[in-house]
């Protein structure tokens, strides 16, 4: 019998689609912008996979909205060890759940959230008991997450060996100002699996020629949705404007229509012909679903997709990944994609 402690951070990722680049201290602001919780849905997907692929699994969890309901909906009869302390959940509720899991000798702590949640779990858990995350946050820099909710469920059900991995976090206030300041917060045990994501590495190469070529080829009347990152940032500069380094901007015919926009603003700015330009995250390969949740299925489905990257980055990541929150769209995006790596050169890369 495998005993798995399940805890859900129900507010994780709420700031993503509305352009807040995180939810720490911004829950009310996210709600005012119309944000809806995404963690419960991702928890349900992960737990359904855990149920599908696992045998003889006992789920221990925390009261609603931190896991009990999602576990029951997936077909488990969970042991509920406690309840949130108040109407609004806090990081201390997550930590209390992890302490209870540790005391009850679980074989794995299976959490739903982002890097902040990973830090809370790691600091309470220590290095003896393994942990695994279901990616639900805006920033997912740590190597303790499955590449998607279903992948995380499969890993939790099937893993046999563990290895050490890093928990990283960033300063969200600096992130909103366009600076990525990462900090190693813990080293933990995680399941050994190919479907676990790598820690994000910052890297790149010379992209000026690539950026200038993309800008020169910009078509009249076409709306360009420009994602975050330094590579796409170089394209924004080549188009003649000072773009948002870690946000999404929208440009058409020499005019910036949206700066650092959320999902709704981006959708409103789309025209008849649209192109979304993104670059994969170094070390991980994600083109959608990490740090750019503003590029939601509602945006992606209306756009032609152009992926750009330096040659060095592609050599490092090997494959591309997507985690849009819509499994059907993810499946449509999988296959082989031509990634632009220069003024004229494109490289065929698999979207796994």
State pLDDT tens for residues 10-26: 987 664 454 444 455 54
If one compares 283 and 1, the residue with the highest pLDDT of the two is: 1
The answer on pLDDT for 56 being more than 60 is: yes
Over the stretch 298-338, which tens digit does the pLDDT of each residue have? Answer: 999 999 999 999 888 888 888 999 999 999 999 999 999 98
One DSSP character per residue, 142-201 reads SSSBBSSHHHHHHHHHH---EEEEEEEEE-HHHHHTT---EEEEEEEEEE--TTBPPPP-
Of 135-144, 222-231, 276-285, where does mean pLDDT reach its minimum?
A: 135-144
> Across residues 158-179, what is the average pLDDT?
75
Residue 184 has pLDDT above 90, yes or no: no
3-state secondary structure of 121: helix
User: Which of 121, 137, 169 has its CA nearest to residue 23?
Assistant: 137
Residues 184-200 have a mean pLDDT of 85
Q: What is the pLDDT of residue 240?
A: 96
Q: How far apart are the first and last CA of the chain?
A: 32
Determine the Cα–Cα distance for residues 97 and 131; give it in Å rounded to an integer. 13
CA–CA separation, 57 and 327 (whole Å)? 25
> What's the pLDDT band for 127 if we cut at 50, 70, 90?
confident
Q: Which residue has the higher pLDDT, 203 or 50?
A: 50
Are 231 and 325 a contacting pair, CB within 8 Å?
A: no
pLDDT at 224 (0 to 100): 98
Say how far apart CA 66 and CA 48 lie, in whole Å: 16
CA 32, CA 44: separation in Å to the nearest integer?
A: 25
Report pLDDT for 139.
66
DSSP state of 321: E
Of 34-43, 191-200, 281-290, minimum mean pLDDT range: 34-43
Return the pLDDT at 202. Answer: 44
On average, the pLDDT of the chain sits at 88
Token pair, residue 129, equals 């008991």
Radius of gyration of the chain (CA): 20
Average pLDDT over residues 199-212: 65
pLDDT at 188 over 70: yes
pLDDT mean over 61-74: 96
Looking at per-residue pLDDT, the higher value among 136 and 277 belongs to 277
Which whole-number Å values give the CA distances from 190 to 110, 270, 281, in the listed order? 10, 42, 21
177: pLDDT strictly greater than 70: no
pLDDT tier at 85, thresholds 50, 70, 90: very high
Residue 12's pLDDT is 79
pLDDT at residue 199, as a whole number: 63
Q: What is the pLDDT of residue 20?
A: 45
Among the ranges given (77-81, 87-91, 118-122), the one the predictor scored with the smallest mean pLDDT: 87-91
For 219, other C-beta atoms within 10 Å of its C-beta total 11
Question: Looking at residue 182, what is its pLDDT?
Answer: 64
Q: Which residue has the higher pLDDT, 271 or 35?
A: 271
Question: 175 pLDDT exceeds 60?
Answer: no
Distances (CA, A) of 182 to 54, 175, 201, 228, 330: 35, 10, 10, 17, 28
Instruction: Provide, rounded to the nearest whole percent, the portion of the chain with pLDDT above 70.
Output: 86
Using a 10 angstrom Cβ sphere, with 0-12 exposed, 13-18 middle and 19 or more buried, the burial of residue 304 is exposed
Residues 53/3/167/310 CA torsion (nearest 10 deg): -10
223-274 confidence digits (pLDDT tens): 999 999 999 999 999 999 999 988 999 999 999 999 999 999 999 999 999 9
């Amino acid at each position: 019998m495998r005993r798995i402690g399940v805890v859900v951070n129900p507010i994780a990722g709420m700031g993503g689609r509305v352009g807040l680049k995180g939810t720490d201290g911004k829950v009310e602001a996210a709600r005012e912008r119309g944000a809806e919780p995404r963690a419960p849905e991702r928890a349900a997907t992960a737990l359904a996979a855990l149920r599908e692929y696992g045998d003889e699994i006992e789920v221990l969890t925390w009261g609603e909205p931190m896991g009990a309901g999602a576990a029951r909906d997936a077909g488990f009869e969970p042991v509920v060890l406690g309840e949130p302390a108040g109407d609004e959940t806090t990081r201390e509720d997550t930590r209390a759940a992890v302490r209870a899991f540790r005391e009850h000798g679980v074989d794995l702590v299976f959490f739903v959230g982002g890097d902040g949640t990973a830090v809370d779990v790691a600091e309470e858990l220590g290095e003896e008991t393994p942990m695994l995350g279901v990616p639900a946050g805006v920033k997912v820099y740590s190597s303790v997450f499955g590449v998607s909710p279903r992948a995380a469920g499969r890993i939790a059900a099937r893993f046999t060996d563990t290895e050490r991995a890093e928990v990283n976090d960033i300063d969200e206030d600096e992130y909103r100002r366009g600076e990525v300041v990462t900090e190693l917060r813990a080293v933990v045990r995680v399941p050994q699996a190919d479907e676990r994501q790598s820690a994000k590495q910052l890297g790149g190469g010379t992209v000026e020629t690539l950026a200038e070529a993309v800008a020169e080829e910009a078509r009249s009347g076409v709306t360009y949705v420009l994602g975050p990152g330094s590579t796409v940032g170089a394209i924004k500069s080549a188009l003649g404007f000072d773009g948002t380094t870690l946000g999404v901007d929208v440009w058409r015919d020499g005019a910036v229509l949206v700066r650092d926009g959320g999902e709704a603003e981006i959708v409103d700015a789309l025209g008849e012909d649209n192109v979304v330009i993104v670059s994969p995250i170094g070390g991980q390969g994600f083109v959608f679903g990490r740090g750019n949740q503003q590029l939601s299925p509602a945006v992606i489905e209306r756009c032609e997709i152009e992926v750009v990257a330096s040659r060095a980055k592609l050599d490092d990541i090997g494959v591309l990944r997507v985690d849009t929150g819509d499994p059907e769209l993810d499946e449509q995006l999988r296959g082989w994609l031509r990634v632009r790596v220069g003024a004229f050169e494109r490289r065929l890369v698999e979207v796994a």
